[in-house]
Structure 1
């Protein structure tokens, strides 16, 4: 859901464009950050969707009329929905002015630029907005981690982080032990949306859209622009749900999803909509689970070693359907319903005919419609109170085209065996009305038991600690 295009490139810019009203541009900047930045980038540089900052346009001249039409109606064949049901005409016009050539220059010159600063200061001061259970605190562990996505933490505490459009892999290092990163080192750049990172036998594996690469002895070499070896280079390179996480399982194999190359389509007999695994050298490619639209998070239960994963439900079925999912696959070969059944209970209007949702494995927890659950982690440390141990935390990236935004938080799913007991909010406040200060992506547990959370919207890593009375 979150990978569809909220705007679109429109053609080679040749026509002059009238300067937009300065008074409305700060609000347009906020609209853009809240609704478009997750796909087109905070600075319009592009992410899963193309750049809006260069001079290349694909769908006509960037006049206000043409931009407004495309924003309102979308480009369904490109995966971009229309926004006319979510934004009003004035908001669409303001966005059209903002993304047009020269639109941001007027923002910089606007006498009311202090309103635009509110967006930035809201990101800088976002911690004050956040709420956590009593006894917990949150701090910024690292900044300037552009489009931070998946994380992997080495036994020595180095945090390796993938990214989206930035095309970089980072090492986030706390050299002096003060529990705040001292430096963010770029290990590699120029990669193709390398969102997935994992550690196995001292090597860092990185998943790009079409391949997996490996950096050996990474803790020793991260600062020296290390060379990499290509492990596998024949993964599907579709852009829609084409980004790939990667996780090392307890069996010593590497697990990689291949998402659906569409909103909803039947590719059940192809490589898509499945979780796969392979040996560390790229051999032994085999299917693990089927019927999965777009998972961007795996974790294994610390005790049972069962595979748990999130899945993002389809768009274009209304604000309240279907629910995104938390699933468990205790054995290989299970089918979780996509594209025939969504959320365990909603038959697909096109592909569900002649099938029953009872044929498929239902989710353990229905997390809510369009909340975009991404990374997850079982709490395996000892710093948090005992009731959190072996329970699963889920990063909800947040909706992008729902009329009323939802998600933008970290949830706690309390389990009894493989059954949901409750789902509650653990961290809230990244969303205030329509203002977004952060979008949680992945969760990792540090060696000292602190929780780390990546945020690709703010380009930060947060650190959550328990400071209450651990004796209770």
Structure 2
């Protein structure tokens, strides 16, 4: 049974409880309320005027997000092998539908022209007319075979770019190695005829990207390598205005740190450094430009990044949503926006992806708590 004890939002540090539901649960179990993500929302800090609420708390392993034309929120997963659909709420609570299961790490989701695209580890499949068939979803149709086999960094992320092509990130099958050229450590784009080309290289593992609303240029996160200490290298926010750029992996990290194994082969000066250095080992994953109209105008075109959090640092870092501010086309400030999933050195939630909802709210997925959060401004 789902726990609706803490379904209301947290605003200005005040927890609004459904007292009747909570009392009934407490009579059954004194700890029933304490283990739901909603019970801990009072720990999330946000800028003044913002609030956070539970949009859905029954989405085990929730990872990447995509909205359909009718407001359906599609959610990819990792180990669960499922793809979820959360129909538009229109002010009412709804359920979570499983529209596919038994897939191989169906992590990436993208929506276009009525069809849902799902990226598994080795292939891309499509569900046609899916929003009209949520109760009886169609069988997936394979549209592209990636021909990849490695599980390490095997979670694909994909989005349709302004050029109408489908972009797919392919991480390297290791922590540090010399990957097969133009097969790993890249972002590719696939046209409507199924022809693929490499758009960007030298990328260890990108799990989030988006295009600037004005320039239509690509920006993406990249996870830095492990085993170089607590504070090196930082994760990266990169800018790829044109095809063919190389961002340094495995020779150089964050634009300035030669790799101890491969760094002597090519100097850092040969590659494109990050537009913004992020926290070390924060596991920067999903990112989006804010294009809604609910937040104050100063937030327009800022980047929001889901930081999944470090596993390889003596003092944990990340487990938050961060924000990058621009001056023109230049990143000038990186700071936390929503934090509190990490308490001390223990985390109760791990943000994975962010997406701007049709109403301008910011949705955040959390695979540890199996929840989707909604961050809103003012009375929205």
Alignment TM-score, normalising by the size of structure 2: 0.89
2:309 — aligned with what?
398
Measure how far apart 1:173 and its partner are: 1.6
TM-superposition CA deviations, 1:105-143 (whole Å, max 9, x none): xxxxxxxxx99x599626441211000000000000011
- The aligned length equals 352
Residues of 2 paired with 1:351 and 1:374: CA distance?
A: 25
Q: Deviations 1:309-337 (Å, cap 9, x if unpaired)? A: 10000001101100000011000000000
User: Tell me, which stretches of 5 or more residues in structure 1 are unaligned?
Assistant: 1-113
Deviation at 1:268?
5.5
Instruction: Please point out which of 128, 133, 140 is paired with 1:221.
Output: 133
- Contact 2:341–2:348 (CA<8 Å) still a contact in 1? yes
2:325 matched residue in structure 1 = 414
1:302 aligns with 2:213: yes
The corresponding residue for 1:348 is: 259
Within the candidate set 41, 45, 50, 1:136 is matched to 50
Hey, what does 1:440 align to over in structure 2?
A: 351
Q: Please say if 1:233 is aligned against 2:148.
A: no
From 290, 298, 317, the equivalent of 1:387 is: 298
Moved over 2 A (4+): 117-124
Measure, in 1, the Cα distance between the counterparts of 2:284 and 2:32. Answer: 28
Q: Deviation per CA, 1:402-444, whole angstroms, max 9, x where unpaired? A: 1000000001100123322111110010000122121111111
1:251 — aligned with what?
A: 163
CA contact (8 A) 1:379 1:390 kept: yes
After superposition, the Cα gap between the structure-2 partners of 1:435 and 1:122, relative to the gap in structure 1 and judged at 3 Å, is farther
Deviations 1:335-388 (A, max 9, x none): 000000001111000100042211111101111110000000111011000000
1:162-184 Cα distance to aligned partner (Å, 9 max, x none): 00111000111234x11x64111
* Matches of 1:337 and 1:152, distance apart in 2: 30
Q: Distance in 1 between matches of 2:76 and 2:88?
A: 18
Contact 2:130–2:137 at 8 Å: present in 1 too? no
Q: 1:199 aligns with which of 111, 118, 125?
A: 111
Query: What is the CA distance between 1:154 and its match in structure 2?
Result: 1.8
Give the one of 61, 65, 75 matched to 1:147: 61
Report what 1:459 is aligned to. 370
CA distance, structure 1, for counterparts of residue 214 and residue 172 of structure 2: 31
Judging by fraction of residues, say which structure has more helix: 1
CA distance, structure 2, for counterparts of residue 212 and residue 258 of structure 1:
13
Contact 1:236/1:258 (<8 A) preserved: no
Please give the alpha-carbon distance, in whole angstroms, between the structure 1 residues aligned to 2:358 and 2:69.
7
2:191 paired residue among 279, 304, 319: 279
How far apart, CA to CA, are the structure 2 residues paired with 1:248 and 1:213? 14
Distance 2:259 2:93 in 1: 46
Q: Is the 8 A contact 2:70 2:88 kept in 1?
A: no
Give the conservation status (yes or no) of the 8 Å contact 1:174–1:183: no
- From 178, 183, 207, the counterpart of 2:95: 183
1:160 to 66, 74, 86: 74
Structure 2 CA distance, aligned partners of 1:465 and 1:412? 15
Residue 87 of structure 2: aligned partner: 173
8 A contact 2:182–2:201 mirrored in 1: no
Shift of 1:267: 1.6
* Counterpart secondary structure, 1:308: strand
Q: Distance in 2 between matches of 1:391 and 1:359?
A: 29
Equivalent position SS for 2:340: coil
Assess, with a 3 A threshold, how the Cα gap between structure 1 residues 368 and 188 changes in structure 2: closer, same or farther. same
- 1:37-52 → structure 2 map (5 Å cutoff): none
Are the counterparts in 2 of residues 268 and 291 from structure 1 also a CA contact under 8 Å? no
3-state SS, counterpart of residue 134 of structure 2: helix
Give the TM-score of the pair, scaled to structure 1: 0.72
Report the secondary structure of 2:133's partner residue: helix
Per-residue deviation, residues 132-163 of structure 1 (Å, max 9, x unmatched): 00000000001111101110012321100100
Judging changes above 3 Å, is the alpha-carbon distance between structure 1 residues 310 and 119 closer, same or farther for their aligned structure 2 residues? Answer: farther
Q: How many angstroms apart in 2 are the aligned matches of 1:370 and 1:423?
A: 15
What SS class does the counterpart of residue 183 from structure 1 fall into? coil
- Contact kept, 8 Å, 1:173 with 1:181, in 2: the verdict is no
The alignment's C-alpha RMSD in Å is 1.8
Return the match for 2:238 from 327, 333, 339. 327
Q: Residue 369 of structure 1 aligns with which residue?
A: 280
**Could you tell me whether the CA contact under 8 Å between 1:379 and 1:393 is conserved in 2?**
yes
> Which one has the bigger strand percentage?
2
Following superposition, the deviation at residue 225 of structure 1 comes to 2.8
- Stretches of structure 2 lacking an aligned partner (at least 5 in a row): 1-28
